C-alpha cells in the first residue's frame, strides 16, 4: 500500500506493505540478548493455588507473567529520565512516531583498549544531510548480535564529541545496535547520554535514544522513513519496535 507523506513541503511516497523491522524480539530464554549483569527475561504461566495459566496444563487460556528489564533485554527507547533525578517518562517524551531517518554503517575504531565511534566517522557518513533520526549499524554485523551476552565485554560506544555532533546536526532520535551509547564501565560519567540530552543545559526532553536494534545486512545505507512503535510504559524506557520504510523514487 503506497502512501504519501509530506516533510517540509515536499511529498514522499512509502510502501506501508514493506516494513523493515529493526527490533529484536524479547524471549524468555537464556539465549535472549543481554547486558548489565542481570539474568535472562522470563515468560512463564501465572500460578495461583491450583491454577496454572497454560492451556496444555488444563487452563482455558494461556496467561503468562513476563519479567524483564527494558535496558538489559532487547530493543528499547529511552528518554532523558534515564539519567535525571526528576522523573521523565518516555511515553510522554515521544509524542510523534514517524521520522525522516538516515541509516549509516560505521566500523568502530580502536582507541586504547576500546572501540569507539568518533565525530569524524559520523561527519563522513552523514555529510551535509539533515535528518530527524540517525540509525547506526556497527561492523562487523553478525546475526549473533541478537543473542549476544554483553556483560563485562566492553562493547563499542559513542564518544562524547560524536553525540554532540548529532545534537549540532539537529538529530533528535539516535538508534544504535549496541547495549548503550556509552562505555560499559565509565564510573557513571555517561558522557554520550549527557551530551545528547544536553544534561548541563536546557534538557532536550523530546530527544530519544534507542539501543539494542538489529539492522540486517540486506538493508542498505540511505534515507528512510522511521516509525518508532513504543509500548506505552510510564517509565524512563520502554520496549520498542523501530520500523523502517524505503522511500519510493
Diameter of the chain by CA atoms?
64
Q: Residue 2 has what pLDDT?
A: 81
152-209, pLDDT tens digit by residue? 999 999 999 999 999 999 999 999 999 999 999 999 999 999 999 999 999 999 999 9
- Name the β-bridge partners of 58: none
Q: Residue 74 has what pLDDT?
A: 96
Q: Residue 3 has what pLDDT?
A: 82
Name the band, by pLDDT with cuts 50, 70 and 90, for residue 8.
Answer: low
**Closest to 116 measured CA to CA, from 192, 7, 46, 209:** 192
125-140, pLDDT tens digit by residue? 999 999 999 999 999 9
Name the band, by pLDDT with cuts 50, 70 and 90, for residue 5.
Answer: confident
212-239, pLDDT tens digit by residue? 999 999 999 999 999 999 999 999 999 9
12-54, pLDDT tens digit by residue? 899 999 999 999 999 999 999 999 999 999 999 999 999 999 9
What's 30's DSSP letter? T
Backbone angles phi, psi at 40, to 5 degrees: -70, 160
> What percentage of the chain carries pLDDT values higher than 70?
99
β-pairing, 173-176 with 47-48?
unpaired
86-126, pLDDT tens digit by residue? 999 999 999 999 999 999 999 999 999 999 999 999 999 99
The rounded mean pLDDT for the chain is: 96
* 190-212 as b/e: b if 16+ CB within 10 A: bbbbbbbbeeeeebbeebbbbbb
Residue 94 CA to residue 96 CA, distance in Å, equals 6
The Cα-based distances of 43 to 46, 64, 68 in angstroms read: 9, 6, 9
Domain annotation for the chain: domains and CATH numbers: 2-26+70-248 (3.50.30.50)
Report pTM.
0.96
Residue 143 CA to residue 233 CA, distance in Å, equals 29
The Cα-based distances of 244 to 32, 43, 66, 132 in angstroms read: 23, 28, 27, 13
Cell of 19: 516494513
Amino acid at each position: 500500500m503506497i502512501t504519501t507523506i509530506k516533510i517540509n513541503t515536499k511529498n514522499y511516497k512509502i510502501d506501508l506493505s514493506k516494513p523493515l523491522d529493526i527490533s529484536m524480539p524479547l524471549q524468555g530464554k537464556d539465549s535472549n540478548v543481554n547486558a548489565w549483569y542481570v539474568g535472562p527475561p522470563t515468560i512463564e504461566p501465572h500460578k495461583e493455588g491450583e491454577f496454572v495459566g497454560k492451556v496444555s496444563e488444563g487452563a482455558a487460556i494461556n496467561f503468562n507473567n513476563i519479567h524483564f528489564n527494558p535496558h538489559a533485554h532487547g530493543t528499547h527507547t529511552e528518554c532523558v529520565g534515564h539519567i535525571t533525578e526528576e522523573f521523565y517518562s518516555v511515553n510522554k517524551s515521544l509524542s510523534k512516531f514517524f521520522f525522516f531517518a538516515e541509516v549509516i554503517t560505521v566500523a568502530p575504531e580502536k582507541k586504547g583498549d576500546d572501540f569507539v565511534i568518533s565525530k569524524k566517522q559520523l561527519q563522513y557518513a552523514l555529510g551535509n544531510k539533515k535528518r530527524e533520526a540517525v540509525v547506526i549499524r556497527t561492523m562487523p554485523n553478525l546475526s549473533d548480535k541478537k543473542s549476544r551476552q554483553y556483560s563485562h565485554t566492553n562493547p563499542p560506544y559513542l564518544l562524547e564529541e560524536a553525540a554532540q555532533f548529532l545534537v549540532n546536526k539537529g538529530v533528535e532520535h539516535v538508534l544504535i545496535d549496541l547495549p548503550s551509547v556509552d562505555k560499559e564501565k565509565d564510573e557513571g560519567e555517561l558522557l554520550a547520554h549527557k551530551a545528547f540530552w544536553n544534561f548541563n543545559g536546557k534538557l532536550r526532553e523530546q530527544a530519544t535514544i534507542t539501543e539494542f536494534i538489529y539492522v540486517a545486512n540486506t538493508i542498505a545505507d540511505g534515507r528512510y522513513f522511521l516509525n518508532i512503535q513504543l509500548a506505552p510504559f510510564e517509565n524512563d524506557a520502554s520496549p520498542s519496535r523501530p520500523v523502517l520504510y524505503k522511500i519510493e523514487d
